[in-house]
Structure 1
Amino acid sequence: MEQRIHFITLSTPDLDAARAFYCEGLGWTALLDVPGEIVFFQVGPGMVLGLFDRAQFVADMRGTTADGELGGLTLSHNVPTPADVDATVRRAVEAGGTLVKSPQIAAFGGYHGHVADPNGVIWEICHNPGWRVDESGQVHLGPVEEG
């Protein structure tokens, strides 16, 4: 199997609140929106995030041990500047998110804040000067090497 994820699907107890958070708070555009069931967002080349209504999610699991609850998960979004961290966190909270950690200097040397979406999924909004993606799509972590 390729080392790749194509879909990340999150169970949500309130699809309308989740849609508002992602569309209004984060400024995202839905790839496909099926009211009362699921909203898909393309989040990268070949990668989609799905927000699946919890009742629909549980029915889809058909009695497996998956109960629709999430735990120990953080999604991260990197932005160009610390001011962008502040603005993004503020917009997310205004759109129904819950402030988990106010924007501040991070232990790794960047600047970040955390906000939970209406499902309780924690988003780290981060300015990380040691993170970059080159033209080929390869992620690099750590200081930029001088050429």
Structure 2
Amino acid sequence: MLGRMEQQAHFITLSTPDLGAARAFYRDGLGWTPLLDVPGEIIFFQIAPGLVLGLFDTAKFVADLQGRPNDGRLGGLTLSQNVPTPTDVDATVKRAVEAGGRLVKSPQTAAFGGYHGHVADPNGVVWEICHNPGWRVDETGRVHLEPIADTP
């Protein structure tokens, strides 16, 4: 089909009003290693095969869009990471808060039957740190979401 866009993304770029605080949260709080760090402009983290998260200084983000200041605002967005155990949820949320994140929701049993907590990065981006035993990725990279027993 001509002109059809593949069902994939390679970059997720977030407008970042305080790049230094974001760097500390992701590097020190989440323990991530930057793929590329351009001080005062942008920092990239590879977050999956072929997928990069970019944190772009808001003023430069808006200029790149040739937009208006409101074009740099974020809203209605969560990012999520599945971790192996509920204990990992607790530890990751704690470390993220210690690195400048804001606790949004303390770790607890989730409505879907797993265990999760929510923490906002210094830009207000909310991360769900989750243990979902029904989630897995097979050897081809395909995601499988299985219902968890006793989930309403």
TM-score, structure 2 as length reference = 0.92
Q: Does 1:140 align with 2:138?
A: no
Q: How do 1:1-147 residues align onto structure 2 when only pairs under 5 Å count?
A: 1-63=5-67, 67-143=71-147
For 2:73, the aligned partner's letter is E
CA displacement 1:20-48 (0-9 Å, x = unmatched): 00000000000000000000000111100
> Partners in 1 of 2:70 and 2:145 — Cα distance?
34
Counterpart contact for 1:129–1:143, Cα < 8 Å: no
> Partners in 2 of 1:130 and 1:16 — Cα distance?
36
Shift, 1:63, TM fit? 2.7
CA displacement 1:72-117 (0-9 Å, x = unmatched): 0000000000000000000000000000000000000000000000
TM-score, structure 1 as length reference = 0.95
Shift, 1:6, TM fit? 0.3
Unmatched runs of 5 consecutive residues or more in structure 2: none
> Partners in 2 of 1:111 and 1:142 — Cα distance?
15
Counterpart contact for 2:62–2:69, Cα < 8 Å: no
For 1:140, the aligned partner's letter is H
Counterpart contact for 1:78–1:126, Cα < 8 Å: yes
Unmatched runs of 5 consecutive residues or more in structure 1: none
Counterpart contact for 1:76–1:124, Cα < 8 Å: yes
Aligned length: 144
Superposed CA RMSD in Å reads 1.3
